[in-house]
Amino acid sequence: MAVFGARQGSGVLLTDRPRVLLRGEAGAGKTTLLWWLAAHASARTLADDLADDLAALNGLAPFVVPLRTLRARGVTFPGPAELSSAAGLVIDTAPEGWAGRVLESGRALLLVDGLDEVPPEEREQAHTWLAQLLSRYPESRCVTTVRPLAVGPDWLRSEGFEELRPLPMRTP
């Protein structure tokens, strides 16, 4: 398992890893990192010199899947057609089949936040959902977050995930 922080930025670690399980304590910045990636990848503002080689993610279509928010809305795990509206930030309706085409083409950045927010008795269902989605769209990149003790260390390894752990944030 790799760690990242001030000395080794997220870009160095995420650029070469198409599937990442980001495991960290509450307040470690996991959700912030996902939203930062979503905003900058879609705006194509990830510059090589400023973001540790994250420029390779520029132009990918981010699909943020906030599992806690979805559960609060009574939604289960979204299918491809629901991914574009999962975060609840859609300004306009995506054309029919758009998300599937983006996923199929490998231009998707799937950002799944809060696997630990899924009740323990439903985590295997979450695993199956994510495994099936990525099996169907193998070229899609994915970063997912979880707290340290929520799932075992090899929970997504068979799906090609590498585990990263952020270093604790500190004040300057």
Residue 2 lies in a domain: no
Mean pLDDT of 123-143: 94
Mean pLDDT in the chain? 83
Give pLDDT tens digits for 56-95: 788 889 999 999 888 888 888 998 988 888 877 666 677 8
12 pLDDT tier (thresholds 50, 70, 90): low
Residue 52 has pLDDT above 70, yes or no: no
Q: What is the CATH number of the domain that holds 84?
A: 3.40.50
* Containing structural domain, residue 120: 7-166
Q: What is the count of structural domains for the chain?
A: 1
Residue 91 lies in a domain: yes
Q: What count of residues does the chain have?
A: 172
Residue 172 lies in a domain: no
pTM exceeds 0.75 for this model: yes
Residue 54 lies in a domain: yes
Residue 129 lies in a domain: yes
Residue 53 lies in a domain: yes
pLDDT at 11: 55
